[in-house]
């Protein structure tokens, strides 16, 4: 195939709720552009998208699919994204490297939660949007109602460019108010029959044309002046106005297709080819140094790798966007993130599972390569003299966590290797070996997200695994001062062990000084701090360790050992074995033996004295609290609020947003374990949520007592 130049390339992300028909539309686009000779079907498991076994098993898109269409001397790189909110990472990745988004809408259901979620992403990333209403042949399709929903949600920027004459099983024609023509199709679809608009549709089409002309003129002063003079624009002027309106997010054109019958697809491609902004017409991307990088084919070569997949019989396939310069087969480049050298042995244009070999790709183009040695998702490869790095794709926080273990323990290492590789394919699969919880954790966007991972491990890798509820990372702290002492003494022939430590513990609050006098049981203890050490704990909070020993009761060389003993109990708190935090420890007295005292003795004495004092100091358990935002249809708000309160959630507020209610709350992590499944069940899959860590708060007394009881039971068993 020919080498397309930057000003001939357009990059488009294809988004939409599950069931909107993206995979079917992809087949029609590829068929119409001649990339494939026959359209595949999801039911027959032979589509260009959804070619991984797990996708064919579930009938859902799990990964994004990169493909291209050649149309009228232009190259359209299109990334078909999964519709499920569980796979939102693929949509965010695609939008990071494309310039325009097409949001596909199921004509039967109109604006769904996936539509809302994807549109919010386009707002965050400031991307142009085209709405595309599909499945016009469905019995329940009501185009006028869909248009009303779009206008209610996104305002007057929603401007229809087409409308169907009728919808349902008899759909076969539409009116294009940009070209002011009627398009109709024979049952097999494909090439349209183009005619003048019939008399009974002319008034409606003329009014919609006027609205479109006005919207097109709005974003160009010259066009606006002409519109005021003549109230009309030429076709080319309208295209120019729409292009500028799209780029500025000043208008959201609405198109119609029936992808399953290949009706309207050619006209959509004409619009994408003629009107959508080219790569060089969009705002420039910034590298990590904050410098703008133009898609200039004359500049030094810089490639950004946005996606990795592992395919049968091929191995790792790495997908990239040429950020600047040109890349050729055989080019030697440097990995800016890892410092390694890479040779681009082979270059391909993408068409799903099919790849077309090319010798060169220029700035703005998207391609892939195989057999690269050391390239991971998010890496940048540069030619000599270029030091770009890019990091413009931000992934959402995980919403669903499970601990994972291999049923056969001997396969744990192999399982970890597979998990690490799979998290390269989908960075929203996060793998963590938790030292604190003593579990391997897998974090994702929902139950279906992790179920997909499990299916792949068990079916592709033949490793049987179990998911379990993860332990909760509680924290322990104290609420008042307390004192304890402990003598460690051991004699077993020869040199013995001896160490005695007296200490005070109290809650640490930033800025509060050490008291000069503490009172316990009617006895005063005077403190004269000789040294103070502040330890910022890895798990949050602080430990303040003060040496207040006078008269040489404990030699200074034993203080690090006492601190080590205290830290061992901070790492495994006395109440539940959780991390402790925000404690001040004052060692004020003790005893030592000229022969038997050593570091081990004082470490054990310090640990036990700390444990005893901690339990006397009004100990409390803290639990992680998360900020949760739920987008829920208005008719399901009551059910969701009731469920949230049953999860010990504190509701902070509600706001309306485009037909949905946004509920904000603070909820303990313990109660969010299976929330994605419960929310989907409550709302029929129409709601979505995001959650992020907020703070640690005290658990209720009854919960604390149960946690301590459960921990003591496990200690007894062990």
Span 75-80, average pLDDT: 94
Class of domain 400-471: alpha beta
Query: Would you say residue 258 has pLDDT above 90?
Result: yes
The more confident residue out of 466 and 44 is: 466
Q: What is the pLDDT of residue 518?
A: 94
The more confident residue out of 34 and 66 is: 66
Q: Name the pLDDT band for 59 (thresholds 50, 70, 90).
A: low
Q: What is the pLDDT of residue 42?
A: 61
Q: What is the pLDDT of residue 674?
A: 87
Percent residues over pLDDT 90 in the chain? 65
Query: Would you say residue 555 has pLDDT above 80?
Result: yes
Task: Take residue 47 and report the two structure tokens written for it.
Answer: 């589509």
d(CA 421, CA 502): 51
What's the whole-number average pLDDT of the chain? 90
Task: Take residue 717 and report the two structure tokens written for it.
Answer: 């068993």
Task: Please provide the DSSP assignment of 353-390 as one string.
Answer: BEEEEESEEETT-EEEEE--SS--TT-EEE-TT-----
Q: What is the pLDDT of residue 47?
A: 66
Residue 52: which region, alpha, beta or left (left: phi > 0; alpha: psi -120 to 50)? beta
Task: Take residue 441 and report the two structure tokens written for it.
Answer: 């954790």
> Any idea of the CA torsion for 52, 58, 62, 64, to the nearest 10 degrees?
60
Q: What is the pLDDT of residue 569?
A: 94
Q: What is the pLDDT of residue 50?
A: 55
**Of 332, 330, 328, nearest to 360 (Cα)?**
328
Ranges for all domains in the chain classified under CATH 3.40.50.300: 6-199+248-281
d(CA 232, CA 473): 65
> Any idea of the CA torsion for 97, 449, 354, 102, to the nearest 10 degrees?
-40
Span 283-294, average pLDDT: 91
Ranges for all domains in the chain classified under CATH 3.30.70.870: 400-471
pLDDT digits (tens, 9 = 90+) for 176-195: 999 999 999 999 888 999 99
Q: What is the pLDDT of residue 446?
A: 87
Phi and psi angles of residue 12, each rounded to the nearest 5 degrees, phi first: -135, 135
Span 494-507, average pLDDT: 91
Q: Name the pLDDT band for 327 (thresholds 50, 70, 90).
A: very high
Decide: helix, strand or coil at residue 678: helix
Span 262-267, average pLDDT: 94
**Of 127, 216, 211, nearest to 163 (Cα)?**
211
| Least confident span in 107-111, 421-425, 439-443 | 421-425
d(CA 483, CA 610): 9
Q: Rounded to 5 degrees, what angle do the CA atoms 160, 166, 170 make?
A: 135
Q: What is the pLDDT of residue 246?
A: 92
Ranges for all domains in the chain classified under CATH 2.40.30.10: 296-337+345-382
Q: Name the pLDDT band for 599 (thresholds 50, 70, 90).
A: very high
Q: Rounded to 5 degrees, what angle do the CA atoms 607, 475, 477 make?
A: 60
CATH of domain 296-337+345-382: 2.40.30.10
Query: Please, what's the b/e burial string for 143-157 (b: 16 or more CB within 10 A of its CB; e: otherwise)?
Result: beebbebbbebbeeb
Query: Would you say residue 717 has pLDDT above 70?
Result: no
Task: Please provide the DSSP assignment of 22-50 as one string.
Answer: HHHHHHHHHHHTTS-SS---GGGT--SSS
Q: What is the pLDDT of residue 397?
A: 86
Q: What is the pLDDT of residue 31?
A: 85
Query: DSSP secondary-structure letter at 52?
Result: S
Query: Would you say residue 351 has pLDDT above 90?
Result: no
Q: Name the pLDDT band for 642 (thresholds 50, 70, 90).
A: very high
Ranges for all domains in the chain classified under CATH 3.30.70.240: 621-703
Instruction: Tell me how far the alpha carbon of residue 577 is from its chain's centroid.
Output: 32
| Least confident span in 135-144, 207-216, 221-230, 638-647 | 221-230
Phi and psi angles of residue 182, each rounded to the nearest 5 degrees, phi first: -95, 130
Other beta carbons less than 10 A from residue 381's beta carbon: 30
Beta-strand ranges (E) seen in 28-152 are 65-71, 74-80, 100-106, 129-134
d(CA 204, CA 212): 12
Q: Name the pLDDT band for 30 (thresholds 50, 70, 90).
A: confident
End-to-end Cα, the chain, rounded Å: 68
Give just the sign of the alpha carbon dihedral 46, 49, 51, 56: negative
Decide: 264 and 87 in contact? Cβ < 8 Å.
no
Architecture of the structural domain at 6-199+248-281: 3-Layer(aba) Sandwich (3.40)
Give just the sign of the alpha carbon dihedral 451, 452, 453, 454: positive
| CA atoms within a 13 Å half-sphere pointing along the CA-CB vector of 253 | 32
Ranges for all domains in the chain classified under CATH 3.30.230.10: 481-576+583-602
Phi and psi angles of residue 692, each rounded to the nearest 5 degrees, phi first: -145, 150
Q: What is the pLDDT of residue 56?
A: 65
| Least confident span in 44-58, 146-160, 528-542, 593-607 | 44-58
Other beta carbons less than 10 A from residue 431's beta carbon: 17
Q: Name the pLDDT band for 83 (thresholds 50, 70, 90).
A: confident
Q: What is the pLDDT of residue 129?
A: 96
Query: Would you say residue 692 has pLDDT above 70?
Result: yes
Q: What is the pLDDT of residue 57?
A: 67
Query: Would you say residue 520 has pLDDT above 60?
Result: yes
Query: Would you say residue 718 has pLDDT above 60?
Result: no
Q: Name the pLDDT band for 633 (thresholds 50, 70, 90).
A: confident
Q: What is the pLDDT of residue 53?
A: 65
Percent residues over pLDDT 70 in the chain? 96
Report the CATH fold assignment for 481-576+583-602: Ribosomal Protein S5; domain 2 (3.30.230)
Q: Name the pLDDT band for 112 (thresholds 50, 70, 90).
A: confident
Q: What is the pLDDT of residue 493?
A: 67
Architecture of the structural domain at 621-703: 2-Layer Sandwich (3.30)
Span 642-654, average pLDDT: 94
Query: Would you say residue 419 has pLDDT above 90?
Result: yes
Beta bridge partners of 406: 465
């Amino acid at each position: 195939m020919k080498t397309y130049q930057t000003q001939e390339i357009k990059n488009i992300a294809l988004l939409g709720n599950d069931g909107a028909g993206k995979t079917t539309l992809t087949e029609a686009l590829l068929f119409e552009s001649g990339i494939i000779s026959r359209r595949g079907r999801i039911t027959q498991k032979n589509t260009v998208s959804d070619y991984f076994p797990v996708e064919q098993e579930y009938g859902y898109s799990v990964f994004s699919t990169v493909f291209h269409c050649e149309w009228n001397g232009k190259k359209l790189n299109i990334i078909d994204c999964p519709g499920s909110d569980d796979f939102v990472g693929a949509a965010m990745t695609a939008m990071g490297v494309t310039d325009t988004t097409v949001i596909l809408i199921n004509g039967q259901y109109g604006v769904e939660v996936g539509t809302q979620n994807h549109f919010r992403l386009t707002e965050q990333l400031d991307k142009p949007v085209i709405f595309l209403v599909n499945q016009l042949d469905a019995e329940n399709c009501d185009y006028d109602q869909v248009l009303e929903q779009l206008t209610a949600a996104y305002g007057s920027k929603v401007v229809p460019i087409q409308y169907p004459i009728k919808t349902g099983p008899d759909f076969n024609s539409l009116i294009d108010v940009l070209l002011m023509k009627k398009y109709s199709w024979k049952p097999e679809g494909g090439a349209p029959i183009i005619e003048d608009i019939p008399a009974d549709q002319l008034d409606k089409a003329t009014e919609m044309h006027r609205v479109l002309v006005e919207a097109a003129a709005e974003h160009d002063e010259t066009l606006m002046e002409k519109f005021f003079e003549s109230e009309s624009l030429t076709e080319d002027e309208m295209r120019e106005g729409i292009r500028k309106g799209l780029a500025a997010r000043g208008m959201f054109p609405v198109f119609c297709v029936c992808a399953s019958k290949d009706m309207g697809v050619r006209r959509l491609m004409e619009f994408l080819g003629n009107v959508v902004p080219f790569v060089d017409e969009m705002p420039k991307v910034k590298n990590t140094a904050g410098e703008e990088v133009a898609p200039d084919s004359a500049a030094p070569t810089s490639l950004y790798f946005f996606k990795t997949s592992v395919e049968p019989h091929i191995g790792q396939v790495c997908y990239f966007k040429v950020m600047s310069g040109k890349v050729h087969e055989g080019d030697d480049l440097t990995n800016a993130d890892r410092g390694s050298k890479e040779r681009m042995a082979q270059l391909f244009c993408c068409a799903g599972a099919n790849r077309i070999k090319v010798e060169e790709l220029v700035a703005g183009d998207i391609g892939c390569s195989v057999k690269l040695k050391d390239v991971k998702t998010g890496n940048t490869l540069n030619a000599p003299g270029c030091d770009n790095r890019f990091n413009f794709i931000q992934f959402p926080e995980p919403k669903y966590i499970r601990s994972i273990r291999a049923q056969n323990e001997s396969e744990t290492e192999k399982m970890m290797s597979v998990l690490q590789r799979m998290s390269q394919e989908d960075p929203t699969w996060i793998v963590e070996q938790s030292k604190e919880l003593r579990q391997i954790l897998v974090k994702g966007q929902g139950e279906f997200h992790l179920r997909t991972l499990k299916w792949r491990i068990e079916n592709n890798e033949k490793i049987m695994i179990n998911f379990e509820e993860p332990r909760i990372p509680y924290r322990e702290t104290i609420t008042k001062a307390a004192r304890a002492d402990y003598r460690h003494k051991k004699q077993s022939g020869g040199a013995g062990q001896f160490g005695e430590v007296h200490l005070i513990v109290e809650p640490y609050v930033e800025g509060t000084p050490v008291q000069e006098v503490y009172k316990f049981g009617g006895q005063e203890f005077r403190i004269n701090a000789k040294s103070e050490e502040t330890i910022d704990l890895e798990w949050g909070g602080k430990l303040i360790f003060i040496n207040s020993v006078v008269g040489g009761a404990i030699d200074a060389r034993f203080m690090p050992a006492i601190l080590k003993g205290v830290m061992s109990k901070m790492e495994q708190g006395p109440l539940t074995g959780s991390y402790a935090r925000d404690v001040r420890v004052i060692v004020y007295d003790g005893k030592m033996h000229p022969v038997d005292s050593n570091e081990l003795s004082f470490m054990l004495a310090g640990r036990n004295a700390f444990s005893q004092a901690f339990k006397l100091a009004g100990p409390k358990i803290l639990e992680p609290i998360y900020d949760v935002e739920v987008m829920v249809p208005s008719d399901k708000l009551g059910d969701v609020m009731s469920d949230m309160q049953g999860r010990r959630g504190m509701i902070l507020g509600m706001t309306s947003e485009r037909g949905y209610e946004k509920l904000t709350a603070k909820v303990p992590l313990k109660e969010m374990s299976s929330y994605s499944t419960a929310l989907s069940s409550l709302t029929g899959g129409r709601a979505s949520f995001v959650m992020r860590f907020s703070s640690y708060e005290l658990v209720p007394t009854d919960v604390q007592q149960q946690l301590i009881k459960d921990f003591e039971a496990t200690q007894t068993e062990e």
